[in-house]
Structure 1
Amino acid sequence: MATIPENPLILVDGSSYLFRAFHSPPHLTNSKGEPTGAVYGVVNMLRSLITRFNPTQMIVIFDAKGKTFRNDMYAEYKANRPPMPDELRGQIAPLHKVIKALGLPLISIEGVEADDVIGTIAKNESAKGRHVLISTGDKDMAQLVNPHVTLINTMTDTVLDVEGVKEKFGIPPELIIDYLALMGDKVDNIPGLPGVGEKTALAMLQGIGSIEQLYQDPQKVLELSFRGSKTMPQKLIDNKDKAELSYQLATIKTDVEIALSGDEFSISAPDYKLLAELYTELEFKRWLAEVIKQGDSAPENKLDETAETINPEAADKVEKEYTCILDQAEFEAWLKQLNAAELIAFDTETTSLDYMKAEIVGVSFAIEENKAAYVPVAHDYPDAPKQLDRDWVLAKLKPLLEDPNKAIVGQNLKYDKHVLFNYDINLTGIKHDSMLESYVLSSVGTRHDMDSLALKYLGHKNISFEEIAGKGSKQLTFNQIPLETAAPYAAEDADITLQLHNTLWEKLSTSDDLVSVYQDIEVPLISVLSKIEQNGVLIDIHQLSQQSQDILIRLSELENQAYEIAGEKFNLSSTKQLQAILFEKLNHPIIKKTPKGAPSTAEEVLQELALDYPLPKVIIEYRGLAKLKSTYTDKLPLMVSSKTGRVHTSYHQAVTATGRLSSTDPNLQNIPIRNEEGRKVRKAFIANQGYKILAADYSQIELRIMAHLSKDEGLLKAFSQGLDIHKATAAEVFGVELDMVTSDQRRSAKAINFGLIYGMSAFGLAKQLNIPRNEAQKYMDLYFERYPGVLTYMEETRANAAEDGYVETIKGRRLNLPDIKARNGAVRKAAERAAINAPMQGTAADIIKCAMLDVAKWIETKTEGQIQMIMQVHDELVFEVKADFAEQASKEICQIMQNSVELSVPLLVEAGIGDNWEEAH
């Protein structure tokens, strides 16, 4: 590879960067729905360039708006190019601002292209002996290369000096214009010579020389042996005007008048304040963190709550008073202050993120901003100072932490509640949780971890765990970290939690509905979820082991089937090998491509191919079983706690956009129930001896919510009369009596009912029912004729969402829709579909959470320990109940769940009892 001289003048083809970034992933948008991917891509490339070469001088050059001198020369120049997309045009102004704020000179001159500005500077500076590096992906720039001018394509890491141009193109830089002129350019609409391509152009240039030499004696071309050489002399003569025009169009102008020169090409110091404003608006969090770390003041907050916001006062440097408590007297003094405080920010530092295994290493607390204390109790690195005894500290804190009248705030307090429970402390006074405050305020476009929230709302860059503990396999656990670094980190956690609460609570308090969702649903749910997680669930590891063996046999059978169909052995788990078999050997149609242009083998693609071909069907079954085995039948037995003999999942309140809970380790939401193997996994969830599994599930809850929200008379009537809603819909849509509805008609009506909830189009319905699109459209039209209230609801919801930027559940949970005004039609349509579905999913989430709270209260006060809640999955609650109490419990739970929230149609709960989850479901 060519060598690049140290500290060259770097000329960046900004327009080339811009289009390259726009068409490459990631296609980002901020929380307002504004595209930002091109800005991110260009700035990322510029940052990489600076990091790599550490230049003192660098200029970014862009095309100016409007026509250039080439359009005057040839009106059809670039006439074939489509207009710039709106999604790209809107990113140019913020990109220019960022570039200038980075301290980089930016040039854009009317009447010429970026190439011409680059060519002029390169010529002028290289003539002075200055080494120039041009960063571009444009092949036309090769004409500028000389002993002092080099090209670099950062995407391919290709560097072209004089020899590099010769090697790549087969001709020296001085013949590149001739080469481009002979071939022409369809993109720029440079005509070139008819019928002359790359090989012909090279043959003439290598055999004879430049265009000027070709025209000195066109007949010399006859001596060359390329295909078409016999007719080429006459072609040259007949098209001389085109050749000359093409030469002029392809020539980069090198005499543009440029105001900047010399020292004005130098990179200046970044404007960190302006960069912080811009990165805030664009929501580039990592770069914003870097800017804030520079120590400059943060910008004024000009954004709404859904965007990245910074509190300028909090971002200023404030003296922190963080204390590491190592003696009893100082601890007692702090304890006195804690007992007198109205609100205490509390946090634990532990040895593990697994709440069942975590041991307390220390605790921290704060009662006023910028002042906090850390009490280490179990740092055991060599030469660690003597610390207070853990049992003594926890015994002193126990009355405080168990006092229901003491208000505690934390960040993800459910975890701390678990950890304290391991030490026989019941954290009772949970008043606030900054993670949940953030989540209720905006569930979309925000990460709710403390570091992200501190950056967003306080303009503060937290000490990261990796900074003090290291990374990867060598990362220390907290007990191994020296106090001089551990104490500030731990104290900061408590301090920032308090600051976040003060900021977020002020924002939440502007909406009574949001306060209600937070205080009446999310905060009380912390204790309920903690109890469910502690209860855990018993599993039959022997059954799972047998199922793993059965799946292994079936996987082997499927492999052999696949080999037989393919006619050869291949790795079914290898995407590349599968692509080769499906699309090259078997010539299956390519339905969709990956971002890199390869044929997709995604699940939806295989589903479509499986309708016509046998191998995709085999692959689908193989993938499903392999995933089931690795995720559940193999893994679940390994997750049994040695302490309890049960499996303990983790429920997450602040993950989904709609308010639904998610679970991990294991993920209980994803166990398949539509196939035999998935149902067998549920069979392994069992009850203890003398107990039964009781499962209570809301029936068709989202359709009932749709009836409530739309107030459609037909739907309200059907549900109020207890009709089979899918049968009732079929009767309406197909115009038949209820008792005459066929199973196929009911199936179609079911697809319509659920499809509309998820914003399915006629095309999607046609695909699902395997019918023509016009027939699917007819079904949907008939549906809206019979249920006009649904159509009205959908239209009003779209309009309100576009105006407000959010939709709400019946409980007032707000679901922001940042893409509802996106310029990109596909993105906007997706947001509109979400606007219709989100109130139903969100309301369903609120209902199941309210039910959990009500059932938990009943269990605590009325059941004398005969039943415990052990799982929440989708719209279902699962219990382990004493066998002789199961029937009574079933009736009570159904009654509680059906009355947890009042709708204009009855809520229906179906319950089952069995020895395992599958039997009860």
Structure 2
Amino acid sequence: MKTLLLIDGTSYIYRAFHAMAPLTSPTGEPTGALFGVLNMLKNLHIDYPHDYATCVFDAKGPTFRNDMYPDYKATRPPMPDDLRPQIERIQELVADMGWPVLSIAGVEADDVIGSLAVKAEAHGCKVIISTGDKDMAQLVTPNITCINTMNGDVLDEAGVVQKFGVRADQIIDYLTLVGDKVDNVPGVDKVGPKTAAKWLAQYDTLDNIIAHATEFKGKVGEHLQAALSHLPLSKALITIKTDMDFSEHLPNKIDDLLRQEPDWDKLVLRFAELGFKRWLAEAQKKANRTAPNHDAQNDLFGDQSHSSNTTITPKIDIPDLGNHIETHYQAILSQADLASLLMRLQDALQHKQAIALDTETTSLNAMDAQLVGISIAFGAGDAVYIPLGHSMTAAPEQLPMDDTLSVLKPFLENPDLGKIGQNIKYDQHILANYGILLQGVVADTMLLSYVLESHMGHGMDELAMRHLGMETVTYESLCGKGAKQISFADVALDDAVRYAAEDADITWRLNAVMLPQLDEKQRHLYEAIELPVSQVLWQMERTGVLIDKKELDAQSHELGSQLWALEQQAYELAGQPFNLNSPKQLQEILFDKLGISTSGLKKTASGGVSTNEAVLEKLAPDYPLPKLILQNRSLTKLKSTYTDKLPQLIRVDTGRVHTNYAQAVAITGRLASNNPNLQNIPIRTAEGRRVRQAFIAPEGFQIMSADYSQVELRIMAHLSGDETLIDAFEQGQDVHRRTAAEVFHVAPNEVTSEQRRYAKTINFGLIYGMGEYGLANNLEITPFEAKEFINRYFARYPAVAQYMQAAKDRAHEQGFVETEFGRRLYLPDINHKNGNIRAGAERAAINAPMQGTASDLIKLAMIDVAAWLQQTDLRSRLIMQVHDELVLEVADEEMDLVKTKLPELMANVGKLRVPLVAEVGIGANWDEAH
């Protein structure tokens, strides 16, 4: 029998849109759904051989069902803004790929598919329908099968019974009883799938159920009788049309559904425009021609004459390592299996072949997690899984953990055997918990993705779909979610092998596919900054920070007393007790009882007046109660987040707090500290600064803090090349005083403190792309006055104005800007139709290169400082990184040496047009040192 493959393109679009990260093209065009659909179609073509095929999409406008029932689909939310512009693109690209496309007005894609399926079956064809729509189950016959590639469901006649509890010929009646909330089709109230299946098992058809409706007693009988009037309409809406005439749309009948050769020349242009590198590489091979290279860009502030439309020979050759590769996954269960594995590891070591490594554990908290198993991949599709900590029920034949780890340890600790991982810093912690120091890390696919595409998601499942076109086995599919989630240790061995070995396999493939996509600058950023600094972070996390619990306990007690006093003052000001944390009660006190004007204040979604921080700050200068509420909120947050919580996070075995530094988060390259967050401890209040007094050095050590002085202003001078700014820094002048002198036309020694404050606000405001209204708000002046200050500033610093405009222009042209070290800072909203959103992206285009370059510099400093400490065999060590600051524990006898060497190392990590300066402080605790 010939096979006809029918694809529910509309279903594919929504599934791809919600499954993929919000991808964008180099020009900011949303492309996530488009990319996902292409990958799904490619996999479908490989996995389901066919003779004929068509991809069917819903046409624009109403259908005959809307004529039958005006409220049909009326409750559906509007199409997401990021999806709308992709619809037409998807259909065009699918057609260019050689798939026949059908979209017929007045009917739904379901009706086109249903009619084609029935006609094809009547002419002796086997039919496969690829969809995620449950309604399609009504079409299943011995020769018509529905498949769902997202979850692996295959709905043949037996599959329909297993999934729904009814036969395929009962699906229409079943769906009529249940109803369809998504399409706004009413069923029988309170009747769900189980009840519907039970009724149909007893009465066989909906007609019989209706005929016996009076026999149904109680509430369910009442609901059935109440639904009798609309059930015929609901059934008509749910029934897929199967008698369409295709003579107009398929003049050559079935031959119009033959796959065509893709238009490779056109696809080369489309993929280059969309930024689909892997697809572009494949299309270029097939087209055998050169094409626009939208990724080849000059330095951000180099030759501005470069045209993004220049045709050059593509330099990347991305291997195709997707679904077509056969997999060989093996469980290591016996001593013979283990001996064979050790031989393979020895062979990889001798031939300098890197392995991919992954651990399965009991927790995401790396310091506490227990090892469940280790997976190793030697190549694409070639991986093993070693169960070590599964329950005996799940894996009764697993090898003993201690003995197995002891024979693996020499390979894991051998720096000459390259290790590839996905967030391998986590795996290093897990192995360290068992006394294994993992060495030889040569690749981390999470960091590779972060350098390649910082604005996208970096999870392995996302990366597999994006770069390999592969859907992976998810953790939730094996372990469940929420309260019912089981431990991986309890997962059945066969499922565990499939999942864990796939993790290592996919990691190996991702490294092979993504690495060639890095340009020269990105590769240096990845290999010289991101990979090495991950090893420094691992060591810092492992070391932790010593915390004085008694000091925090004392602070918590004092903050509690202050909060109680503030509450009493608030009650007195309000004239009554009330809950300070209740927005509703606060709203009533401020605006009803005290009569504070609500004019110009932000409203809540329900129409009331907001009592958020911004509103209270606006009221605080004129009213004492809002000011007091702000104080209360600040101290409450400080107490709950730090003085109460930090002592709970002190590990008994180390006496320290161990944060996690996340690398692949901010597009600027900044690190994020979490669990606990040590980077957001307030420093503007005395109470906030006091928290730092609890960060102490052990006996025989002191805390040393070193941070870059005005680093982003120095980077602004470097990037803009402004001679006046550069001269100020080269001369070691107070740059804010120098700016004030330039803007106010006075001698530097005549600058007042107020003028210097204005200049400082302008300097830092412009770094963040602040306009006249933002500056006016910060300086509490009129927008006209602010504009005058900005004009005077740019008149004295013309190269800064040129830099800002060049950054915005380049961002609009290519969708990203760059740091001095080649980090791409993508701005998906830079060409957004909403002016406010677009303006925000333009501000980011100005600031991101400075903030990103500062992030790169501090990472380079961490690498150099850690290397120097290790090479000189010092006891001093890095313990924290906070934005532009490094914090160390320094041994007393090493104090003078480190104090001299540390700022020297930090000053020499980058060659800027102005000197880098690091300032050092020392103390018994972090507050004293800062």
| TM score, norm. by length of structure 2 | 0.68
- SS of the residue 1:388 aligns to: coil
Kindly tell me the number of residue pairs found equivalent between the two proteins. 688
Q: Identify the residue that residue 336 of structure 1 maps to in structure 2.
A: 343
Residue type of the alignment partner of 1:522: E
Matched, 1:843 2:838: no
Q: Which residue of 2 aligns with 1:62?
A: 61
CA distance, structure 2, for counterparts of residue 683 and residue 457 of structure 1: 48
Distance in 1, matches of 2:708 and 2:516, equals 36
| 1:353 lines up with 2:348 in the alignment | no
**Hey, what does 1:760 align to over in structure 2?**
770
2:441 — aligned with what?
Answer: 430
The equivalent of 1:531 in structure 2 is: 539
1:240-297 per-residue CA deviation (whole Å, 9 max, x = no partner) reads xxxxxxxxxxxxxxxxxxxx9995599xxxx9x99xx9xx99xxxxxxxxxxxxxxxx
Quote the offset at 1:553 in angstroms.
1.9
Does the C-alpha gap of structure 1 residues 318 and 302 become closer, same or farther in structure 2, counting only changes over 3 Å?
A: farther
Deviation at 1:448, TM superposition (A): 0.8
| SS of match in other structure, 1:686 | coil
Q: Which residue of 1 aligns with 2:406?
A: 395
Q: Distance in 2 between matches of 1:561 and 1:349?
A: 54
Larger Rg: 1
Matched-pair contact (CA < 8 Å) for 1:693–1:917 = yes
C-alpha contact 1:582 1:588 (8 A) present in aligned 2: no
Structure 1 residue aligned with 2:378:
367
Using the TM superposition, name which of 741-750 and 880-889 deviates more. Answer: 880-889
Alpha-carbon distance between aligned partners in 1 of 2:478 and 2:180, rounded to the nearest angstrom: 38
Counterpart in 2 of 1:900?
909
* Partner residue, 2:156: none
- Flag the 1:158–1:559 CA change in 2: closer, same or farther, 3 A: farther
Say whether 1:327 aligns with 2:326.
no
Q: Distance in 2 between matches of 1:878 and 1:648?
A: 14
Change in CA separation of 1:891 and 1:760 when aligned onto 2, cut-off 3 Å: same
**Counterpart contact for 2:357–2:419, Cα < 8 Å:** yes
Provide, for residues 604-635 of structure 1, a one-character-per-residue CA deviation record: whole Å limited to 9, x for no partner: 33322323333332222222211111111111
Contact preservation (8 Å) 2:320, 2:513: no
Which consecutive unaligned segments of at least 5 residues does structure 1 have? 1-17, 19-26, 40-57, 65-83, 110-151, 162-259, 282-300
The partner residue of 1:866 within 875, 884, 898 is 875
Structure 1 residue 602, shift from structure 2 partner: 3.4
* 2:658 paired residue among 648, 656, 659: 648
Instruction: Name the residue aligned to 2:829.
Output: 819
Structure 2 residue corresponding to 1:448, chosen from 451, 455, 458: 458
Residues 36, 709 of structure 1: alpha-carbon distance in 2 compared, 3 angstrom cutoff: closer
1:427 maps to a residue whose letter is L
Measure, in 1, the Cα distance between the counterparts of 2:94 and 2:523. Answer: 42
2:633 aligns to what? 623
Q: 1:695 aligns with which of 677, 702, 705?
A: 705
Given that residues 314 and 459 in structure 1 are in contact (C-alpha distance below 8 angstroms), is that contact kept between their aligned partners in structure 2?
no
Partner of 2:728 in structure 1?
A: 718
- Separation in 2 of the partners of 1:262 and 1:393? 61
Distance change >3 Å, CA 98–CA 61, structure 1 → 2: farther
Structure-2 change in CA distance of 1:391 and 1:324 (3 Å):
same
Deviation track 1:102-121 (CA, whole Å, cap 9, x = no partner) reads 99975499xxxxxxxxxxxx
- Residue aligned with 2:746, SS: coil
Cα 1:396–1:102 shift into 2, 3 Å: farther
1:919 aligns with 2:918: no
1:177-236 alpha-carbon deviations (Å, 9 max, x no partner):
xxxxxxxxxxxxxxxxxxxxxxxxxxxxxxxxxxxxxxxxxxxxxxxxxxxxxxxxxxxx
Alignment-derived partner of residue 113 in structure 1: none
State the 1:710 CA deviation.
Answer: 0.6
Q: Is the 8 A contact 1:361 1:377 kept in 2?
A: yes
Match of 2:28 among 29, 33, 41: 33
- Residues 327 and 635 of structure 1: CA distance in aligned 2, closer, same or farther (over 3 Å): same
Matches within 5 A, 1:652-667: 652-667=662-677
Tell me: CA distance 1:325–1:900, structure 2 relative to 1, closer, same or farther (3 Å). same
Is residue 558–residue 622 contact of structure 1 (8 Å, CA) maintained in 2? yes
Tell me, yes or no, if the aligned pair for 2:357 and 2:421 is still in contact at 8 Å: yes
Assess if the C-alpha contact under 8 Å between 1:105 and 1:265 holds in 2: no
* Structure 2 counterpart of 1:521, from 516, 524, 529: 529
- Alignment RMSD, CA only? 4.0
Structure 2 partner of 1:6: none
Partner of 1:233: none
Name the SS for the 2:679 alignment partner: helix
CA distance 1:34–1:576, shift in 2 (3 Å): farther
CA drift of 1:38 comes to 13
| Alpha-carbon spacing, 1:645–1:261, altered in 2? closer, same or farther (3 Å) | closer
Counterpart position of 2:233: none
Contact 1:894 1:910 in 2 (8 A): yes
User: Which amino acid counterpart does residue 488 of structure 1 have in structure 2?
Assistant: R
Is the 8 Å Cα contact of residues 87 and 823 (structure 1) preserved in structure 2? no
Taking a change above 3 Å as real, the CA distance of residues 807 and 30 of structure 1, as seen in their structure-2 partners, is closer
Q: How does 1:482-497 map to 2 (within 5 A)?
A: 482-497=492-507
Checking the alignment, whether the CA contact within 8 Å between 1:859 and 1:865 is kept in structure 2 is yes
User: Is the Cα–Cα contact under 8 Å of residues 886 and 913 in structure 1 kept in the other structure?
Assistant: no
**In structure 2, what is the Cα distance between the partners aligned to 1:460 and 1:37?**
15
Q: Which amino acid aligns with 1:329?
A: A
Pick from 782, 790, 805: which aligns with 2:800?
Answer: 790
Q: CA deviation at 1:424?
A: 2.1
Matched residue, 1:540: 548
**Counterpart-to-counterpart distance in 2, 1:756 and 1:561:** 40
1:815 positional shift = 1.1
Q: Is the 8 A contact 2:59 2:104 kept in 1?
A: yes
Is there any run of 5+ residues in structure 2 with no aligned partner, and where? 1-13, 15-20, 35-56, 64-78, 109-178, 189-239, 247-256, 261-266, 272-290, 297-317
CA distance in 2, matches of 1:155, 1:499: 39
User: 5 Å matches for 1:206-355?
Assistant: 263=243, 314-316=321-323, 318-341=325-348, 342-355=353-366
Contact 1:312-1:459 within 8 A present in 2 as well: no
- Give, in angstroms, the shift of residue 737 of structure 1: 1.4
Structure 1 residue 346 displacement after superposition: 0.6
Q: What fraction of aligned residue pairs are identical, expressed as a percent?
A: 49
AA at the equivalent of 1:440: V
Answer whether contact 1:87 1:824 (CA < 8 A) is retained.
Answer: no
Q: Does 1:876 align with 2:889?
A: no
5 Å-filtered alignment, 1:742-781, equals 742-781=752-791
Contact 1:407/1:430 (<8 A) preserved: yes
Alignment pair present for 1:577 and 2:577: no
Specify whether residues 861 and 313 from structure 1 end up closer, same or farther in structure 2 by C-alpha distance, changes over 3 A only.
closer
Letter in 2 for 1:798: K
Instruction: Name the CA distance, whole Å, in 1 between partners of 2:592 and 2:30.
Output: 37
**Structure 1 residues 780 and 158: alpha-carbon distance in aligned structure 2, compared to 1, 3 A threshold:** farther
Structure 2 CA distance for aligned equivalents of residues 771 and 155 of structure 1: 53
Question: What's the counterpart of residue 563 of structure 2?
Answer: 555
